[in-house]
Amino acid sequence: MIYMNTKAVIFDMDGVLIDSEPSWGQAMLEVMREVGIPYTVDDVARYQGVRVGDIVSAVWDANPVPESKEGIEKMICRRVSELVLDHGRIMDGISGVLDFVRREKLPLGLATSTPRQVAVNFIKRIGIGGLIDVMCTGDEVTYGKPHPEIYLLCASRLGVLPWECLVFEDSVNGVLAAKAARCRCIAVPGEGLFDDRRYGIADVKIRSLLEFSPDMA
């Protein structure tokens, strides 16, 4: 069973805990258009799970504009915060997973590419801040997903070994990061991505958290 020998659970945030991926995509498209950097829906999909600063750096280097990288990142974070606070909702099925975590008395970590202040606002929005024991954010690590650093950091702060962690991820970059850290990983691909072969590295793949069961192989 996937949860055997599990000593901690780690969630990604966007697209796992909160339905915020559409808001990130909209914010990226709006701000990039405003500053004059070409950015498409294909770019939104390709960069899913990547730190906003890393995305901005990559596209700015390819298409330099007068607005600074730091300024663009702040614009995106401000816009996505507005969108999530207005429209963000907790993902279907998360209550069942949280019930499992509480029942098994497992410490709970959060490993998100989102900057800390934005992540704190998102968690407040869905009202589960009191359940999270450790929060690791994209601005605390040198390398973002798909590098494993954030999962190694989160496991360390939780006081467990990486392979004792069960990770829930929705993006390919996130799954790659979790598996590179040697965590066990349940992938919950976003809409239209379930058949993407890149998710094959995950230990288990489900269409929704509603499908989660501790008995799954």
| Active site residues per annotation | 12, 14
157-175 exposure pattern, b = at least 16 Cβ within 10 A, e = fewer: bbebebebbbbbbbbbbbb
Q: Which H/E stretch holds residue 52?
A: helix 52-62
Token reading at 198: 């890149």
Measured CA to CA, the distance from residue 11 to residue 156 in angstroms comes to 15
Measured CA to CA, the distance from residue 151 to residue 55 in angstroms comes to 20
Strand partners, 81: none
Cβ atoms of residues 166 and 8 within 8 Å: yes
Measured CA to CA, the distance from residue 29 to residue 47 in angstroms comes to 12
